[in-house]
């Protein structure tokens, strides 16, 4: 068992799921605290040093979505939504409210821990990312100084829009980005909810970076929600 320093808060009113998550975190060596209510979550966050929160949306006192909004007023801590709701709209809304990722119940301990590790890596990376001149995921590498993209060490020709899109993904490795968020970042707030241009841009980028664009290895589709750059 490795010892981790990051303390995790589990917010879940279903005791079976709470016990399952607690057990998984314990096995992985993470210190953790638990609460079954939204109010409990907020008071724990105020009184304890918490590094990451696993948050159920359907809580008995008020909605988990409200917890996300409140926490985001003062903290950038990773929030992974753990929810039985599998509606894509709910996931996208949680992400747009400031959640970092989501897990749909039922999920395995392996899946849970993988998401936690990605979120923690992202947390540690966030401070230093601006200083990074080059980042890679597998054979896909971006050089921010030279504005160049490489695939398996061969230089790729990308359009400025494709390059901007890749920069956005590399700044958020492993994190799911909603379509709404990407459109806003790439085309600006005035672009509204028109996602057709993004789909076209994504298709042309994938033809360049993916061996099989129908089965992408780098930029993965999160159906009905958005996209995620694979984290290895």
Looking at beta carbons only, is 63 or 155 nearer to Ca ion?
63
Q: Is 58 or 192 the residue whose CB approaches Ca ion more closely?
A: 58
Residue pair 102/82 in contact by the 8 Å Cβ criterion: yes
Please report, as ranges, the residues that interact with Ca ion according to CB under 5 A.
13, 56, 58
Reference 205, options 136, 158, 172, 147; nearest CA is 158
Take residue 189 and report the two structure tokens written for it: 């707030």
Report, in Å, the least distance between residue 17 CB and Ca ion. Answer: 8
Instruction: Using CB positions, name the residue nearest to Ca ion.
Output: 58
Alpha-helix residue ranges (DSSP H) falling in 97-193: 109-128, 160-170, 179-187
Least Cβ distance, residue 82 to Ca ion (angstroms): 9
| Residue with token string 């008020």 | 62
Q: How would you list the strands of the sheet with 176-178, edge to edge?
A: 176-178, 226-229, 219-222
Choice between 13 and 88, CB closer to Ca ion: 13
- Name the token pair of 181: 């968020």
CB of 134 to Ca ion, least distance (A): 43
Residue closer to Ca ion (CB basis): 39 or 195:
39
Place of tokens 């061996």: 211
CB of 91 to Ca ion, least distance (A): 15
């Amino acid at each position: 068992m490795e010892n981790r320093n990051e303390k995790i808060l589990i917010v879940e009113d279903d005791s079976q799921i709470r016990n399952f998550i607690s057990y998984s975190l314990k096995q992985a060596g993470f210190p953790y605290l638990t609460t079954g209510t939204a109010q409990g979550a907020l008071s724990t966050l105020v009184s304890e040093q918490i590094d990451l929160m696993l948050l159920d949306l359907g809580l008995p006192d008020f909605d988990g979505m409200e917890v996300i909004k409140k926490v985001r007023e003062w903290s950038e801590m990773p929030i992974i939504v753990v929810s039985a709701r599998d509606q894509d709209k709910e996931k996208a809304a949680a992400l747009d409210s400031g959640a970092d990722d989501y897990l749909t119940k039922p999920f395995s301990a392996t899946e849970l821990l993988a998401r936690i590790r990605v979120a923690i890596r992202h947390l540690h990376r966030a401070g230093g990312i601006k200083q990074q001149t080059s980042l890679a995921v597998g054979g896909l590498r971006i050089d921010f100084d030279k504005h160049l993209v490489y695939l398996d060490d061969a230089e790729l020709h990308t359009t400025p829009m494709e390059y901007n899109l890749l920069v956005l993904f590399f700044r958020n490795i492993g994190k799911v980005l909603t379509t709404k968020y990407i459109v806003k970042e790439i085309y600006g707030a005035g672009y509204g909810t028109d996602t057709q241009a993004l789909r076209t841009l994504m298709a042309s980028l994938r033809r360049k970076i993916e061996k099989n664009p129908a089965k992408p290895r780098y930029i993965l589709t999160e159906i009905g929600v958005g996209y995620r750059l694979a984290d290895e």
